[in-house]
Structure 1
């Protein structure tokens, strides 16, 4: 078949691919961190005329890899200090190749029993790591947004017995979601998707420590008009996107228990701290939650998108997603298994969990603890170097997310933008600007396990040079 190629051609194609990928993987640090965002140039580079009859594989591979190298922010770069987009570990890369080749369909247990059981094992392992008991449940998702959406659907189906049948039309009161003003915007998106609308997502102000203010939360709960509204869920964030802050999970748990409200923890980033004995205490209280979002494609350094939804309520996923069909395979009907398509938003399912399983087989939990501790250490080194060079740290977290400013220019909104533009234009480092209490600050996050003191020192030097130039 034309799609298969013969054995000799496949080997030749793979050799070309692996040579290109190995060159990039071994020399990522030599690329500019960010591209020239010339949309016309990017669109002109696409080979639209060759889509009719196709071109030789080697030319096609060269075209695609050149395009990615020229027109991408290189998140695997050791001087990418941006969002939670790490360098993929090699086990995760191999896992994606294996998954694409075998292409198992995880919708039905009987079609891919090994793959489904691998994911079940990893779910149980993480449930145990987060402090849930043996009856906990969970599922792999395509990202934190899907996991947070799953949490909201579970909360609705838990609170309203007929929600799966009647939806929002069967509700006698408007369900309200409470979260921090620093919570991820996927919460608003989830409210839009489930049909309650984002006006029912109430953002609670933060304290001076940038955590959800539990006193204001309790006040808002007390003020809620119970004839119209009913609290649905409270979301605590473990590692906010902007400042890496962890909310007071124990206090939030107490409020939820007292008011019979679903407690969800969005630990998409900060959940990785559970793998470190040094950082694990920061997540105290997460074990009391009803559900957790965790992104393995963040701190576990596996390829996008590899996320996990966990719940301490072992019946809720089935209640939320269970459905019967005539056409799905029935071979496993008499076995004590859960059919994946009845357990998730997804139907057709990729073998997402292999990226985590193979990584653990390669490196083990101990390897992950060492890596996470290294990144936390680099975060502290970055803070120390910034302070030594006259910069002021604006957030307070043990996670390697650092927001900083110059005291004398904190009210100058042009200052961070101009400095950042100069740094990005040189393409040696990538960082961002994030507002804290309305004041823009520089934000740098250690996302790469290969980032060392050397790269941090180089970043500090770049910032100091641009600051000196700004003063001229």
Structure 2
């Protein structure tokens, strides 16, 4: 309870909030959508979708986490209820396109109930405009959930808190301490500024469970899908007690500084260009190849380079697609990573690209 309180206060909610630890971001996002459904359709908790007059739908960017699709299926509203909105040039959920889709869905007789803002997409680390999405949520009477599994950890940094400006406007927030807060697996957190919705959505009464009469104690099985559960809060509780928030201020500041160092080095790269805006310490690189090179061939070259750079087991990077384009992806997240590690990776990438596409070196010589 104390750890949840610490996190909620950093979100900026004052005293009126609740939450619980989860197994990770997947369960936390599932919980948030369950809360949003129960808030918009109170009859859903007892009677299911048969009590809901029209098909519920919710909104997220095309780059939002796949757990939203899983959750929609598990909640019974179906994966087609996830309305994925095309991102803008900043890889953010586009508010104008979102408003148009909400209007279209309402005109079609559907029931919008939630907007999901992402604070740190998996592919590129993009952070949606939470303030703008909050305004839309208020306009249309929708629940606003911030999936901040990665990026919401910025609330622990006074210097970088503005990365998630407006997070206090959310109805619920997901944070994964096992990401940017450097905790061991597994540790997820779901927080909500509507604490009463946790019990309204998940509480059950059983004669074999002891009754808690002390308001300072919590029956966590009434606040989430879990019954038997690990004490996932303990590791973060001890870390904050021993090292304090200042340790996270330092960690986040150091990694943002490393990201700036890498970004500066990439400006001089002969082979790679940043293909997406870099907000958090995640990088998307593309080879500087002629336009005539097709996307499939470029993806093959990216895959070849990634295999070459990772086969010695000294580093781990990957390929993915951002907004439909093939990219090489890597991120800085370990507190042990230094500028020397980053420089070694960039050098390995340059050398591998030189072997994979030697004609580029000749063209730029």
TM normalised by structure 1 equals: 0.72
Listed one character per residue, the Cα deviations across residues 265-288 of structure 1 (whole Å, up to 9, x for unaligned) are 000000111111221111111110
Q: What is the CA-CA distance between 1:409 and the residue it aligns to?
A: 5.4
- Please name the residue that 1:135 is paired with: 16
Listed one character per residue, the Cα deviations across residues 263-315 of structure 1 (whole Å, up to 9, x for unaligned) are 00000000111111221111111110100000000011111110110001121
Listed one character per residue, the Cα deviations across residues 235-265 of structure 1 (whole Å, up to 9, x for unaligned) are 0000000000000100100000011000000
Listed one character per residue, the Cα deviations across residues 24-72 of structure 1 (whole Å, up to 9, x for unaligned) are xxxxxxxxxxxxxxxxxxxxxxxxxxxxxxxxxxxxxxxxxxxxxxxxx
1:323 is aligned to 2:204 = yes
Corresponding pairs, count: 352
- Please name the residue that 2:362 is paired with: none
Q: SS at 1:426's partner residue?
A: coil
1:353 is aligned to 2:239 = no
1:263 is aligned to 2:149 = no
Q: What is the CA-CA distance between 1:334 and the residue it aligns to?
A: 5.7
Listed one character per residue, the Cα deviations across residues 96-147 of structure 1 (whole Å, up to 9, x for unaligned) are xxxxxxxxxxxxxxxxxxxxxxxx1111111110111211111111100000
Aligned residues of 1:409 and 1:415 also touching (Cα < 8 A): no
Q: SS at 2:255's partner residue?
A: helix
1:384 is aligned to 2:264 = yes
1:465 is aligned to 2:346 = no
Please report the RMSD computed on the Cα atoms of aligned residues, expressed in angstroms: 1.4
Matches within 5 A, 1:11-26: none
Given candidates 426, 450, 457, the residue that maps to 2:336 is 450
Q: What is the CA-CA distance between 1:163 and the residue it aligns to?
A: 1.4
**Pair 1:374–1:325, CA change in 2 (3 A):** same
Task: State the alpha-carbon separation in 2 of the partners of residues 451 and 324 from structure 1.
Answer: 48
- Please name the residue that 1:416 is paired with: 302
Task: State the alpha-carbon separation in 1 of the partners of residues 108 and 344 from structure 2.
Answer: 59
**Rg: which structure is higher?**
1
**Pair 1:160–1:471, CA change in 2 (3 A):** closer
Q: Which moved more, 1:403-412 or 1:298-307?
A: 403-412
Aligned residues of 1:177 and 1:202 also touching (Cα < 8 A): yes
Matches within 5 A, 1:302-317: 302-317=183-198
Aligned residues of 2:172 and 2:193 also touching (Cα < 8 A): yes
Q: Which has the higher contact order (CA 8 A, sep 6+)?
A: 1
Q: Which moved more, 1:383-392 or 1:145-154?
A: 383-392
- Please name the residue that 1:24 is paired with: none
Q: What is the CA-CA distance between 1:201 and the residue it aligns to?
A: 0.5
**Pair 1:289–1:334, CA change in 2 (3 A):** closer
Task: State the alpha-carbon separation in 2 of the partners of residues 314 and 460 from structure 1.
Answer: 46
Task: State the alpha-carbon separation in 2 of the partners of residues 270 and 334 from structure 1.
Answer: 35
Aligned residues of 2:299 and 2:327 also touching (Cα < 8 A): no
1:427 is aligned to 2:313 = yes
Q: SS at 1:263's partner residue?
A: strand
The runs of 5 or more residues in structure 2 that have no matched partner are 359-365
Aligned residues of 1:173 and 1:227 also touching (Cα < 8 A): no
